Chain A
Amino acid sequence: MISIKIAVYGKGGIGKSTISANVSAAFAKKGYSVLQIGCDPKHDSTRLLLGGKIPVTVLDYIRDVLPADRHPEDIIYKGYGNVACVEAGGPEPGVGCAGRGIISTFELLDEIGIKSSLFDITLYDVLGDVVCGGFSVPIRREYADAIYIVTSGEFMAIYAANNILRGIRQFTETKNRVAGIIYNARGLLEEDECVARFSKAVKLPVIVSVPRSEIFADAEKDGCTLIERYPDSDEAGLFCKLAEHMKNLESETGFLYPALPLSDEELENTVLMRYEKIPADKFRLSEIRVTEKKCISNSVKNKKPLIGCAFAGAVSVTAQITDAMTVMHCPKSCALMIYEKMLDTSQSSAVRYNDMYSGGLPQRMTTTDMTDDDFIFGGERKLEDALEDSIDKGFKTIFVITACPPGIIGDNIKKVISSVCEKNPDICIIPIETDGNLTGDFAQGEMDAYRALTCLINNGGSKNERPSVNIIAEKYLASNADNNIKAVKDLLNKLDISVNCRFLIRSNMDSIRKFNEAALNLPAYSDETSANIQKIISSVSDVPFFEKTLPTGFRETKEWLLSIAEIFERQDVALRVIAEEEKEYQKRLDALRPILKGKNVLISTYPKSVDWIFDIASDLGMNILKVGLTYSPFSEELPSCRSHPFPVEKNYSIEMRSDDIKILNPDFILHTYPSLKSSDKVKSAGIPYCPGFGFSAALAHAERWTKLISYPLSEGWKRDGEGII
């Protein structure tokens, strides 16, 4: 028994299947056992061996039969000369991922025991137009020993052949794998010369030249190979010669060559004989209407490693809407990661701050649970089912957010939505095609979702009778978000201003639609994502933005309140409130000064607004020695309205911080992530993600500092970690 594994690659329609089937037949006629595996979604590789019959493809089988019920006999068909025929098949054109299908086919064949070791000859007939990871599987060492490339003299066929050589080169660093070229002539002018030039340039022999002949068509009409129909023809003799060549690969007379693909330029010169390089004309964008530029996150803009994914970012926004369904078109794990975080935040908020539990997240989030099968065949049907199910549950507004797999396989989300909306004209379904992290990081997804949401805002409309405001881009993943906003609402209430819409945190559709009824937008934060969200909203809404973000600490709150009061003409109320608060503030400062006055502070933070720390430190007479800015994928600059007498150092590493602790000898260090090392001997406190709003927010933190500064330098448990790596 011999064991030869051959892959035949070539451009679609070049005649690979005819050649493969005839070679298999030639081998079979000589008494060899042959397995032919068609790796082309067209699944017609073995048609001529099977008398024109269409077999069940492996991918249809994977789709329809449970793993426990799968048997090899169900997908191997007996062809001419007892050739074992298998067709990988593929998804419906336009859906799913055919390359992934090839991977799954080979996995299944291994699983159910269809192995090349059972046959003398295994022949893989592979589509070579797209040499992606999936269609390269047969080149992998454990499958094909040798590769033949089929080409005609047409430029596109040679282009594909060259591309296949590029693919082969990826897999053959140590061993030659190319057996040669099979020239399948089309009868074109100077075709022989063209192939000869290519063959010479890539240093590969032409193993056989198959002439154009009518008898191929005759045999095909009868659904059989030339070997079967015209066994004595010259053409049949060529396939016997080719089979002999393949068989010799196992002996010492066989010879394999390296893959030496040409560059595009070399190919043009060699095949087309076009030596003059004519640059392509550039299209002038001004000739067409240029659409508005999309807001892009910092990480995407600067090609930094993406933190989180756009899918999760978008889900975290849409799931805030209490009466809309978020359909996550993704595998289970993608959905679970953001779902867990959101549910946890909501529960922590209720437990830690005694906020009312909003609940409802499990009911308004759902997933299509895409599996490997959906990667191959496409997940559109599942998405449609999920949308129908959401509608049955009574949701009128539905968001569809996509993870990586549907993006990679190209599921047509808009087509599915349009089909569902046709049947349900009163339902609003909004796609946000984030495609996992293909479009960017978490922040990018947030922005994309905000953009999608703006289409829900009603145009125009009258302003509320009682002055009202929208609060923009709160940090909804902070469990203290609801608690923090109480102070803002309280201040607004004193000015007789109500909150129209929290855009977007635990809001309903009605408040989003009525967004434009507010007199003013109050941005919560000034970071880059928040600034981009402002831009997005400004492009669709006329509600003006207040120039200050929600305030933390006495100074900020005082200025914020006065400015708001000025807009709404409530200055007298504001002054009264400030006067009352100031007395209380001074009283509490006096209590803290004996402990904190004169203390030297080092600040280590990722770039975020810490003006409130500068303010309270100044009010307490503390000295800020330095601010070190640690790495953040989201921003690089320290957003601040203050001028600083202290140095600000960028790219501040953990090691630099440890050095500063030794050199500057601070009394206290305020820091964000990462936490201090056990060797950092200094008293410390964390800078919260969201420090809270209002007159006393900063004071509350300073009161905690006084306790931490009074406690021992290092807790006993930390010593137990010494020696642990």
Chain B
Amino acid sequence: MNSDPDGFIGTLLAIEGISDARAVMNGPNGCRGNPAYFSDKHFPRENSLNRRSFEEPFFFGQSRIPCTYLESDDYINGSTQKLQEILPLIAKKGDAFLAVINSPGASLIGDDLNRFLACAGLDNICMAFESCGYSKPFHEGFDHTIAEVLKWLRLNSLPKVKKRVNLLGFSISQKYWQGNVAEIKHICELLGLYVVSVPGAGSSVSEIRESTTASCNIAVFPEYCKKTAEFYESEFGIPVVCSYCGAPAGFTSMEIWIKEVADATGCDPKPALEEIRKKRTLAFHKISRYFHEAGYPKGATFAVRCDSSFALSLTVWLSEYLGMIPVSVEVMPGEDDFETTKRLKEYLYANNFADVFKADPYDKKPQFYFGEGLTGKDLCLSGRCKISVELFNRTNSDIYFKEKTFLGGEGALWILELIFDAVKDFSE
């Protein structure tokens, strides 16, 4: 079994990724524990010391994602009575909007949530998701939800302003999501671009409302924003740019990304490229001094399991920049037919790593595992891997205070730091 979250979690986290929105689960208490804890941990918005008491209805001691705590009777009689109780209470909390999200079981009751919201006079601050991609890929649930939110918000078509962009495809499920956004915003600044919004990763509703002033959307993680980008394009004529190299992880991908974005927006790429050049020089000095006596990290084996756009750039960079050897490369469910997956496979085939795609890391025993943390830790603790680098947030992922990133020049340096800190202990 793997630990991939599904489209249902994608829906919940898409809403929770909007800074002033709140997901309300129409479902049992057991379904909301993990996502509620996740949201509070990775996007804290309230004073944890003012924690709610356990018996407070609908919240049960957790600050995020209140729920209707459906029980057996509700599956027979419907959930509207509990919704009638919960929504007016939560609506008073001052969120910009609420999204009622059906748990898998609740979706089978067939309650007409939209009708209920309209009758209760709550349809102006509350939207509903009756069916939410249960067991479907996470990115599908996330993307669909953001696109639906944009529709529901009835965004105005505002005059386009040059050099204003939205960043699409970021999610609070990604490790260092705030650092990642900050790094890409910084690169955008160097390009002379102003980031209007990052829907689903920290932007508020008012920022999202302003998003239609952007002259271009940048799909940083295209898996998470296909529908969203299509919506912006079809409704507001905002074109989208998406890098050939995938997500901007590693120096080379970042440089190509900068040139592509600069091309699409008519910006000067030089200042941003210059910054990456400096980071490359810094990395050179460190690497040239501290590489392992046995040559590591050259020849160190690694496994990757993540979204295809990130897997592509990371695999290519680790292989070409550091001479590391991929032994297992997996993309997330539902991404097999993506362009980035095809390019990833082409790269592996072209470099004699054909058997690496979808190889089982438990069999391959990589020295480094880049992917989901629980699996990485399981590999390490069972002696099948030396170092696990967590790429996704979990309810139980590592705690960090200083914001870091996997993207851009800063991200490249951080990945190098993780690798070099580990290989110093490698023995031959």
Q: Do A and B bind each other?
A: yes
Among the 9-residue stretches A200-208, A342-350, A564-572, the one with 4 or more Cβ atoms under 8 Å from chain B is A342-350
Are A336 and B3 in contact (CB-based, < 8 A)?
yes
With A133-B110, A309-B28, A674-B61 known as contacts, the answer to whether A361 contacts B71 (CB < 8 A) is: no
User: Is B239 part of the contact surface with A, judged by Cβ < 8 Å?
Assistant: no
Decide yes or no: A340 and B72 within 8 Å by CB, A333-B104, A674-B61 being known contacts: no
A107-B131, A340-B374, A654-B53 known; A133+B109 contact, CB < 8 A: yes
Complex interface: chain B residues within 8 A of A481 (CB): none
Q: Residue B406 at the A interface, CB < 8 A?
A: no
Q: Which B-chain residue is minimally distant from A135 (CB atoms)?
A: B110
Residue numbers in A under 8 Å from B28 (CB-CB):
306, 309, 404, 436-437
CB atoms of B104 and A137 under 8 A apart: no
Interface string of B116-142 (1 = CB under 8 A from A): 001100000000001100111000000
Interface flags, A129-142, vs B, CB<8A=1, else 0: 00011111100111
How far apart sit A332 and B112, CA to CA, in the bound complex (Å)? 24
A362 and B51 CA atoms in complex are apart in Å by 34
Encode contact with B along A676-689: 1 for CB under 8 Å, 0 otherwise: 11100000000000
Cα of A519 to Cα of B381 in the assembled complex, Å = 36
Query: Which partner residue on chain A sits nearest B52 by CB separation?
Result: A674
Q: Is the CB of A674 within 8 A of B54?
A: yes
Pair A375/B107 contact, Cβ less than 8 Å: yes
Stretch of A118-126, A227-235, A277-285, A366-374 lying at the B interface: A366-374
How far is it, in angstroms, between the C-alpha of A725 and the C-alpha of B115 when the chains are bound? 34
Q: Indicate with 1 or 0, residue by residue over A102-118, a CB within 8 angstroms of chain B CB atoms.
A: 11100100000000000
Distance to closest chain B CB from A170 (angstroms): 8
Is B224 at the interface (CB under 8 A from chain A)?
no
Tell me which of B60, B111, B378 contacts A305 (CB under 8 A): B60
Contacting A403 at CB < 8 Å: which of B4, B104, B110, B130? B104
CA distance A141 to B115 in the complex (A): 8
Chain B residues close to A by CB (< 8 Å): 1-6, 8-9, 28-31, 33-34, 46-47, 49-55, 57, 60-61, 69-72, 75, 78, 103-105, 107-112, 114-115, 118-119, 130-131, 134-136, 374-375, 377-378, 381-382, 394-396
Which residue of A409, A442, A674 contacts B53 across the interface (Cβ within 8 Å)?
A: A674
Option from A307, A357, A403 in Cβ contact (under 8 Å) with B29 = A307
Q: Is the CB of B3 within 8 A of A343?
A: yes
Q: How far is the CA of A70 from the CA of B315 in the complex (A)?
A: 35
Q: Is the CB of A409 within 8 A of B108?
A: yes
Restricting to A308-348, which residues have a CB under 8 Å from any CB of B?
308-309, 311-312, 330-337, 339-341, 343-344, 347
Q: A337 to B30, Cβ gap below 8 A?
A: yes
Q: List 25 A-B contacts (CB under 8 A).
A: A100-B108, A107-B131, A133-B111, A137-B110, A140-B115, A171-B115, A332-B135, A333-B5, A333-B9, A337-B33, A344-B395, A351-B381, A357-B381, A357-B382, A359-B381, A362-B2, A365-B1, A370-B135, A371-B136, A372-B131, A404-B75, A437-B28, A673-B61, A674-B51, A677-B50
B49, B61, B381 interface centre (most CB from chain A within 10 Å): B49
Instruction: Pick the residue among B6, B104, B381 that contacts A404 (CB under 8 A).
Output: B104
B residues within 8 A CB of A102? 110
Taking a contact as CB atoms under 8 Å apart, the answer to whether B374 and A436 are in contact is no
Residues from chain A with Cβ under 8 Å of B136 in the complex: 371
Say how far A171's CB is from chain B's closest CB, in angstroms. 7
Return A599 CB to nearest CB of chain B, in Å: 24
- B115 contacts which chain A residues (CB < 8 A)? 140-141, 171
With contacts A171-B112, A721-B49 known, is A307 near B60, CB below 8 A?
yes
User: Which residues of chain B are near A366, meaning CB under 8 Å?
Assistant: 1
The number of residues on chain A lying at the interface, defined by a beta carbon within 8 Å of a beta carbon of chain B, is 80
CB contacts (< 8 Å) of A673 on chain B: these are 54, 61
Which residues of chain A have a CB within 8 Å of any CB of chain B? 97, 99-100, 102-104, 107, 132-137, 140-142, 171, 173-174, 305-309, 311-312, 330-337, 339-341, 343-344, 347, 350-351, 357, 359, 361-362, 365-367, 369-372, 375, 403-405, 408-409, 436-439, 441-442, 630-632, 653-654, 673-678, 718, 721, 724-725
A309-B29, A408-B108, A436-B105 known, 17 other contacts, Cβ within 8 Å: A104-B131, A140-B112, A173-B119, A305-B60, A332-B5, A335-B1, A337-B33, A347-B378, A361-B1, A361-B378, A369-B6, A674-B53, A674-B61, A678-B50, A718-B49, A724-B46, A725-B47
A654 to B51, CA, bound (A): 10
CA distance A229 to B353 in the complex (A): 69
Contact present for B105 and A408 (CB under 8 Å): yes
**Are A306 and B1 in contact, CB atoms less than 8 angstroms apart?**
no
How far in angstroms is the closest Cβ of chain B from A464?
31
Do A347 and B49 contact each other (CB < 8 Å), given the known contacts A306-B30, A332-B6, A372-B134?
no
Closest to A311 in B: B30
Taking A331-B135, A337-B34 as contacts, is the C-beta distance between A437 and B1 under 8 angstroms? no
